[in-house]
Amino acid sequence: MKLAKKNKKVVIIERHKEVGGGCTHWGTIPSKALRQSVSRLIEYNSSSLFRGHEKPKHLTFPEILKHASSVVRKQVQLRSGFYDRNRVELIAGEASFIDANTLKIIKADGSNEQLTAKQIVIATGSHPYRPAAIDFSHPRVYDSDSILSLKHDPRSIIIYGAGVIGSEYASIFRGLGVKVDLINTRDRLLSFLDDEMSDSLSYHLWNNGVVIRHREQIDRLETTDESVIVHLKSGKKMRADCLLFANGRTGNTADLNITNAGLAADGRGQLKVNGQYQTEVDNIYAVGDVIGYPSLASAAYDQGRLAAEAMMDHQSTAKLITDIPTGIYTIPEISSVGKTEQELTETKIPYEVGRAQFKHLARAQISNSLVGSLKILFHRETKVILGIHCFGENAAEIIHIGQAIMQQKGEGNTIEYFINTTFNYPTMAEAFRVAALNGLNRLF
């Protein structure tokens, strides 16, 4: 869009039947729409006002999936409208390189077309990692793409891989009343988070009945018509109605014939780029999941814009922000920006902590969102905000208030902002005022 608005001739090639990418069809949008329905279901079932003495409402995965597909439809309409309005030609087909300026496009009807361009952006995304030893053709074995075609209503599920995707799906299935075994190959859940956030997530998943196993590796998978049995290297085994394998993703480069363009991908199918999103071949740029970290739709949008900027102006110094916020849509939700307590301790930065518990906020009491907290980490001498960590309903929205202050230059970044301003009342944003007062009161 950025290039088209600057009157560049832009063509987009997409192999899926609809635009929107994995973000719209298999990733962000469907998983967040599923989570929203499950959250409302939990709220309804736990509300004495709405549910009264009725038996709990039960929704199946295919039922909530229907609502998610209506969101996907709206997103596709919106996005195809953008292409149309900005005169970006859309070619339906699978692209691969003939050379650094030429692409071959295989269309759905089998016909071929060749396109040449001065510059090319690779934004082909990623797909779930599928180890050869796991039979993904079995009807009870899913990855995060194929889970969206789950037709039956499982009573139990094993989720292998407790990263963001595995943890989010653990929350969704548990919210639907499904028995969940979550197998983590690492020591703790989402170890990149502040320890308190990771501990809170572990506690709440555990408290909701999710069985979490840390430091485990799959040895083999046994499948029958009725169930799946996961044998772990530790000797444990577990049985469930189905398996969701969510242990890593691979960049979509295997079908691109990138060697024809002089490019090579690493072992995870990812491409190397410089600060301007330019690959090792000058006229080819790459953005999004295909370049790896942070593998977020949020960052991919900005990378696309920055790459476009660099393609028009090679001297461009525009950069992605360094503190990219994390939004994790588990139940409860988690969001963070900046440093964790572990990082600050390791680098010996003298910091102080200000905390607000949601249960003490009027707005949280009104909306019955009592689980959660906000914590602000700030420098005890300069009062500069160093990190913000939020756990609980709407954490991913709440975090941006603090992020806006944290991003201010010079003296603009100070925790004192939150006590020198007036907040609407009652709001969840008030957590910033409460946490700031709590933290500043700790100084001596």
Ligand X SMILES: Cc1cc2nc3c(=O)[nH]c(=O)nc-3n(C[C@H](O)[C@H](O)[C@H](O)COP(=O)(O)OP(=O)(O)OC[C@H]3O[C@@H](n4cnc5c(N)ncnc54)[C@H](O)[C@@H]3O)c2cc1C
Q: Does 21 bind ligand X (CB under 6 A)?
A: yes
Q: Which residue has the tokens 């485990």?
A: 216
Sites for ligand X among residues 225-254 (CB under 6 A): 252
Question: What minimum distance in Å lies between the beta carbon of 294 and ligand X?
Answer: 8
Scanning 21-29, 42-50, 181-189, 272-280 for contacts with ligand X by CB under 6 A, the matching segment is 21-29
Q: Where are the alpha helices (DSSP H) in 317-394?
A: 341-346, 362-366
Give the one residue of 3, 4, 10, 31 binding ligand X; rule: CB under 6 A.
Answer: 31
Helix (H) or strand (E) holding 99: strand 94-99
Q: Does 144 bind ligand X (CB under 6 A)?
A: yes
257, 120 Cβ separation under 8 angstroms:
no
Site string for ligand X, 316-335 (x = CB under 6 A): -----------x-x------
Q: Does 277 bind ligand X (CB under 6 A)?
A: no
Cβ neighbours of residue 11 closer than 8 Å, sequence gap 6 or more:
88, 89, 90, 91, 115, 117
Beta-bridge partner residues of 237: 231
Give the one residue of 211, 297, 349, 371 binding ligand X; rule: CB under 6 A.
Answer: 297
Fill in the DSSP letter of residue 278: B
DSSP E strand stretches across 320-406: 326-328, 334-338, 351-357, 372-379, 385-392
Question: What minimum distance in Å lies between the beta carbon of 61 and ligand X?
Answer: 14
Integer Cα distance of 325 and 338 in angstroms: 7
Integer Cα distance of 88 and 91 in angstroms: 10
- For ligand X, the closer of residues 175 and 288 by Cβ is 288
Question: What minimum distance in Å lies between the beta carbon of 13 and ligand X?
Answer: 5
Q: Does 276 bind ligand X (CB under 6 A)?
A: no
Q: Does 292 bind ligand X (CB under 6 A)?
A: no
Scanning 171-179, 224-232, 283-291, 401-409 for contacts with ligand X by CB under 6 A, the matching segment is 283-291
54, 188 Cβ separation under 8 angstroms:
no
Scanning 41-49, 51-59, 214-222, 286-294 for contacts with ligand X by CB under 6 A, the matching segment is 286-294
Tokens of 118: 């001065």
- For ligand X, the closer of residues 123 and 364 by Cβ is 123
Sites for ligand X among residues 36-65 (CB under 6 A): none
Compute φ and ψ for 45, nearest 5 degrees: -70, -25
Nearest of 149, 144, 163 to residue 23 by alpha carbon = 144
| Residue with the CB atom nearest ligand X in the bound state | 288
Give the one residue of 80, 257, 298, 316 binding ligand X; rule: CB under 6 A.
Answer: 298
Q: Does 302 bind ligand X (CB under 6 A)?
A: no
Q: Does 400 bind ligand X (CB under 6 A)?
A: no
Q: Does 289 bind ligand X (CB under 6 A)?
A: yes
Q: Does 16 bind ligand X (CB under 6 A)?
A: yes
- For ligand X, the closer of residues 284 and 435 by Cβ is 284
Integer Cα distance of 255 and 265 in angstroms: 12
Tokens of 164: 């963001």
Number of residues that bind ligand X (CB under 6 A): 32
Nearest of 179, 135, 139 to residue 159 by alpha carbon = 179
Tell me the three-class secondary structure of 219-274, residue by residue: EEEEECCCCEEEEECCCCEEEECEEEECCCEEECCCCCCHHHHCCCCCCCCCCCCC
Scanning 13-21, 49-57, 75-83, 428-436 for contacts with ligand X by CB under 6 A, the matching segment is 13-21
Give the one residue of 165, 356, 395, 415 binding ligand X; rule: CB under 6 A.
Answer: 165
Query: SS3 for 134?
Result: coil
Question: What minimum distance in Å lies between the beta carbon of 412 and ligand X?
Answer: 27
Q: Which residues bind ligand X (CB under 6 A)?
A: 13-16, 21-23, 26-28, 31-32, 94-95, 123-125, 144, 165, 252, 255-256, 288-290, 295-298, 300, 327, 329
